[in-house]
Amino acid sequence: TSNKTHVDERLLEICKLLEKHVDHYNWVGFYFRNGNKEELKLGPYVGAPTDHTIIPFGKGICGQVAVSNQNFVVPDVNAQDNYIACSITVKAEIVIPIFVNGANIGQIDIDSNTPDPFTKEDERFLEFVTQKVSEILS
């Protein structure tokens, strides 16, 4: 198998583990910068299929993180103007950027069906996960 296939399998395993073991993680996926384009492309994920396989930089929560390089915790997605809905069951979202050699190359995106579920502990934990992902990608 190619290296990309192997990496994608490992990333999918991470999605499955997170979704299975954390009750308030209901959709877990990766978006990565699509080549040199100013857009994100959907990578491995678990949860309901989404139409949003390509997201332009700046659009939605994910597109904003591509530009800001910051964690984005959204306690209530319905209070956001710049939000792309994937499923009407989603109440909250957290997006953590992934850095390789200092460059923002993508992100982990998690949707929750529970309102306001994400704590600082989620942020620290998911930063640990993205650091591991960065090592897988390096």
Residues 6 or more apart whose Cβ sits within 8 Å of residue 36? none
If one counts every other C-beta atom within 10 angstroms of the C-beta of residue 19, the result is: 18
Q: What is the DSSP string of 58-106?
A: TSHHHHHHHHH-S-EEES-GGG-SS---S-TT--EEEEEEEEETTEEEE
Q: Which stretch binds ligand SME (CB under 6 A): 10-18, 79-87, 117-125, 130-138?
A: 79-87
The answer to the question of residue 109 lying near ligand SME (CB under 6 A) is yes
Among 93, 96, 107, 130, binds ligand SME (CB under 6 A): 93
Query: Minimum distance from CB of 95 to ligand SME (Å)?
Result: 7
Q: How far is the CB of 3 from ligand SME (least distance, A)?
A: 25
Residues lying near ligand SME in the complex (CB under 6 A):
27, 50, 52, 55, 60-63, 83-84, 86, 93, 109, 111
